[in-house]
Amino acid sequence: MLYIKCPHCGWRSQNEFSYGGDATVKRPKLGKEVTDQEWDDFVYNRKSLRGKHWELWQHLSGCRQWIKVERDTATHEIFKTLKASEEIS
Amino acid sequence: MTQSFRLENVGLINRNKKLSFKFNGKVYYGYEGDTLASALIANGVHLVGRSFKYHRPRGFFGAGVDEPYAIVQLYRNGETEPNIKATEQELFEGLEATSVNCWPSVNFDIGAINNFLKIFLPAGFYYKTFMWPKSFWFKVYEPFIRKAAGLGVASTKHDKERYEHKYEYCDLLITGSGPSGLASAYAAAKNGARVILAEDKSRFGGTLLTSEVNIGNQSGKEWAESLISELKEMPNVTVKNRSQVFGYYDHNMLVMSERISDHLPKTKKFHPKQRLWYIRAKEVLISSGSIERPIVFGNNDTPGVMLSSAAKEYLKVYGVLVGKNPLIFTNNDSGYETAIEFQKNGVNPIILDTRKDPKSEIVDEAKNLGINIKFSYVVVAAQGYKKVKSADIAKISEDKEQLGAIENIKCDCICVSGFWTPTIHLASQSGNKTKFKEDIDAFVPGTSKQNETTLGAANGTYTLEETLKNSFEAGYKLSKEITKNDNKISFPNVIEKKSTVHDKFWCVPLPKGKNYKRFLDFQNDVAVSDIEIALKEGYRSIEHVKRYTTLGMATDQGKTSNLNGLQLVSKIENKVVPAVGHTTFRPPYTPVSIGAIVGREVGKHSKPTRKSPMHSWHEKNNAVFVDAGVWLRPRYYKQGNESLFEGSKREAKNVRTNVGVCDVTTLGKIDIKGPDAAELLNRVYTNAWLKLPVGKARYGVMLREDGIVMDDGTTTRISENHYHMTTTTAQAANVLSHLEYYLQLVWPELNVNVVSTTEQWAGAAIAGPKSRELLQKLFPKSDVSNEGLPFMGYMEGDLFGVKARIFRISFSGELAYEVNVESDNGYFMWEKIMEVGQEFKIQPYGTEALSTLRIEMGHVAGSELDGRTIPYDNSLEGLLSKKKDFIGKRSLNRKAFTAEDRQKVVGVVPLDKKTSIPEGSHLVKDSNAPLPNPKLGYISASCWSVEYDNPFSLAIVKDGKNMIGKKLFVMSPLKNKVIPVEIVSSHYVDPKGERVRS
Ligand SMILES: [Zn+2]
Q: What is the CA radius of gyration of chain A?
A: 14
* Cis peptide, bond prior to residue B104, ω within 30 of zero: yes
The Cα–Cα gap between B616 and B632 comes to: 11
- Cβ atoms of residues B411 and B327 within 8 Å: yes
Strands (E), B182-225: 195-198, 214-215, 218-219
Of A42, A66, A76, the CB nearest to B745: A66
Least confident residue range of B100-104, B126-130, B499-503, B711-715:
B126-130
Q: What is the DSSP code (8-state) at residue B744?
A: I
Least confident residue range of B137-151, B210-224, B460-474, B582-596:
B137-151
Interval between CA A64 and ligand 1 midpoint (Å): 6
Q: What is the pTM of this model?
A: 0.89
In B, which residues are within 8 Å of A34 by CB distance? Answer: 890
The answer to whether A13 contacts B167, with C-beta atoms less than 8 Å apart, is yes
In B, which residues are within 8 Å of A6 by CB distance? Answer: none
Interval between CA B614 and ligand 1 midpoint (Å): 34
The Cα–Cα gap between B362 and B368 comes to: 10
Q: What is the mean pLDDT of residues B184-210?
A: 98
User: Which residues partner with B391 through β-bridges?
Assistant: B382, B409
Interval between CA A57 and ligand 1 midpoint (Å): 10
Q: Give the pLDDT confidence of B319-334 residue by residue, as tens digits.
A: 999 999 999 999 999 9
Interval between CA B952 and ligand 1 midpoint (Å): 49
Quick one: pLDDT at residue B182? 98
Interval between CA A16 and ligand 1 midpoint (Å): 9
Interval between CA A4 and ligand 1 midpoint (Å): 10
pLDDT above 70 for B103: no
The Cα–Cα gap between B634 and B636 comes to: 5
B433 in A contact zone (CB under 8 Å)? no
Inter-chain CB pairs, A–B, below 8 Å: 55
Reference B631, options B841, B847, B446, B374; nearest CA is B847
The Cα–Cα gap between A12 and A75 comes to: 19
**Ranges of chain A whose pLDDT falls below 70:** none
B431 in A contact zone (CB under 8 Å)? yes
Sorting pLDDT into bands at 50, 70 and 90, what band is B41? very high
The answer to whether A84 contacts B745, with C-beta atoms less than 8 Å apart, is yes
Q: Give the pLDDT confidence of B505-518 residue by residue, as tens digits.
A: 999 999 999 999 99
Please give, rounded to a whole number of angstroms, the shortest distance from the CA of B87 to a CA of chain A: 32
Interval between CA B672 and ligand 1 midpoint (Å): 21
The complex's ipTM? 0.98
pLDDT above 70 for B1: no
User: Which residues partner with B950 through β-bridges?
Assistant: B945
| Residue B34, number of CB atoms within 10 A of its CB | 29
The answer to whether A30 contacts B741, with C-beta atoms less than 8 Å apart, is no
Alpha carbons within 13 angstroms on the beta-carbon side of residue B488 total 13
Interval between CA A59 and ligand 1 midpoint (Å): 5
Domains, chain B, with CATH or none:
14-125 (3.10.20.440), 163-290+422-495 (3.50.50.60), 294-324+333-418 (3.50.50.60), 513-573 (1.10.10), 609-666+760-867 (3.30.1360.120), 669-757+870-888 (3.30.70.1400), 899-997 (2.40.30.110)
Reference B101, options B71, B133, B132; nearest CA is B71
- Burial (CB count <10 Å: 0-12, 13-18, 19+), residue B284: buried
Across chain B, which distance is largest between two alpha carbons, in Å? 114
pLDDT above 80 for B673: yes
Quick one: pLDDT at residue B814? 93
Sorting pLDDT into bands at 50, 70 and 90, what band is B55? confident
Least confident residue range of B194-198, B212-216, B570-574, B682-686:
B570-574
The Cα–Cα gap between B180 and B837 comes to: 77
Quick one: pLDDT at residue B122? 58
B252 in A contact zone (CB under 8 Å)? yes
In B, which residues are within 8 Å of A28 by CB distance? Answer: 890
Contacts of B858 (CB under 8 A, 6+ apart): B875, B905, B907, B954, B985, B986, B987, B988, B989, B991
Contacts of B771 (CB under 8 A, 6+ apart): B659, B814, B815, B816, B817
| Residue B389, number of CB atoms within 10 A of its CB | 16
Sorting pLDDT into bands at 50, 70 and 90, what band is B110? low
Of B250, B280, B891, the CB nearest to A76: B250
Sorting pLDDT into bands at 50, 70 and 90, what band is B49? confident
Provide the residue count of chain A: 89
B690 in A contact zone (CB under 8 Å)? no
Interval between CA B609 and ligand 1 midpoint (Å): 26
Quick one: pLDDT at residue B123? 61
B253 in A contact zone (CB under 8 Å)? yes
The Cα–Cα gap between B45 and B186 comes to: 40
Quick one: pLDDT at residue B155? 85
Quick one: pLDDT at residue B604? 84
pLDDT above 80 for B611: yes
Strands (E), B176-208: 195-198
pLDDT above 70 for B807: yes
A3 in B contact zone (CB under 8 Å)? yes
Quick one: pLDDT at residue B387? 95
Q: Give the pLDDT confidence of B749-788 residue by residue, as tens digits.
A: 999 999 999 999 999 999 999 999 999 999 999 999 999 9
Task: Spell out the domain ranges in chain A.
Answer: 1-23+43-89
Which has more pLDDT, B494 or B998?
Answer: B494
Quick one: pLDDT at residue B987? 95
Least confident residue range of B63-67, B228-232, B616-620, B905-909:
B63-67
Sorting pLDDT into bands at 50, 70 and 90, what band is B132? low
Quick one: pLDDT at residue B749? 97
Q: What is the mean pLDDT of residues B583-590?
A: 89
Q: Does the CA dihedral A58-A63-A65-A67 come out positive or negative?
A: negative
3-state helix, strand, coil in chain B (%, to 5): 25, 30, 45
The Cα–Cα gap between B463 and B544 comes to: 36
In B, which residues are within 8 Å of A64 by CB distance? Answer: 740
In A, which residues are within 8 Å of B166 by CB distance? Answer: none
Q: Which of the residues B744, B749, B884, B891 would you substitute to probe the A interface, choosing the one with the greatest number of A C-beta atoms within 10 Å?
A: B744
Quick one: pLDDT at residue B440? 94
Q: What is the mean pLDDT of residues B362-390?
A: 97
Least confident residue range of B301-305, B382-386, B576-580, B622-626:
B576-580
| Residue B89, number of CB atoms within 10 A of its CB | 23
Alpha carbons within 13 angstroms on the beta-carbon side of residue B22 total 11
Please give, rounded to a whole number of angstroms, the shortest distance from the CA of A31 to a CA of chain B: 5
Helix B771-778 / helix B826-837 crossing angle, nearest 10 deg: 120
Quick one: pLDDT at residue B98? 93
Q: What percent of chain B has pLDDT over 90?
A: 83
The answer to whether B253 contacts A3, with C-beta atoms less than 8 Å apart, is yes
The answer to whether A1 contacts B744, with C-beta atoms less than 8 Å apart, is no
Which has more pLDDT, B581 or B695?
Answer: B695
- Cβ atoms of residues B22 and B95 within 8 Å: yes
The answer to whether B250 contacts A30, with C-beta atoms less than 8 Å apart, is no
Quick one: pLDDT at residue B678? 98
In B, which residues are within 8 Å of A44 by CB distance? Answer: 706
In B, which residues are within 8 Å of A58 by CB distance? Answer: 737, 740-741
Quick one: pLDDT at residue B129? 55
Of A58, A75, A84, the CB nearest to B737: A58
Interval between CA A10 and ligand 1 midpoint (Å): 7
Of B252, B706, B746, the CB nearest to A43: B706
Fold (topology level) of A1-23+43-89: Folate-binding fold (3.30.2270)
Of B252, B740, B890, the CB nearest to A39: B890
Q: What is the mean pLDDT of residues B825-846?
A: 98
Please give, rounded to a whole number of angstroms, the shortest distance from the CA of B887 to a CA of chain A: 8
A74 in B contact zone (CB under 8 Å)? no
Interval between CA B581 and ligand 1 midpoint (Å): 43
Which has more pLDDT, B158 or B826?
Answer: B826
Within B714-766, residue ranges assigned H as helices are 732-741
Q: What is the mean pLDDT of residues B245-253?
A: 97
Of A42, A44, A84, the CB nearest to B744: A84
Of B253, B740, B885, the CB nearest to A30: B885
Interval between CA B704 and ligand 1 midpoint (Å): 25
Sorting pLDDT into bands at 50, 70 and 90, what band is B443? very high
In B, which residues are within 8 Å of A65 by CB distance? Answer: 740, 744
Q: Which of the residues A4, A32, A42, A43 would you substitute to probe the B interface, choosing the one with the greatest number of B C-beta atoms within 10 Å?
A: A43
Q: What is the mean pLDDT of residues B386-400?
A: 96
pLDDT above 90 for B297: yes
Please give, rounded to a whole number of angstroms, the shortest distance from the CA of A30 to a CA of chain B: 6
Strands (E), B48-200: 49-50, 57-58, 71-76, 79-85, 95-99, 163-175, 195-198
Mean pLDDT of chain B: 93
Q: Give the β-pairing of B274-286 and B253-259.
A: antiparallel
In B, which residues are within 8 Å of A60 by CB distance? Answer: 737
Quick one: pLDDT at residue B581? 85
Nearest residue on chain A to B254, alpha-carbon basis: A1
In B, which residues are within 8 Å of A86 by CB distance? Answer: none
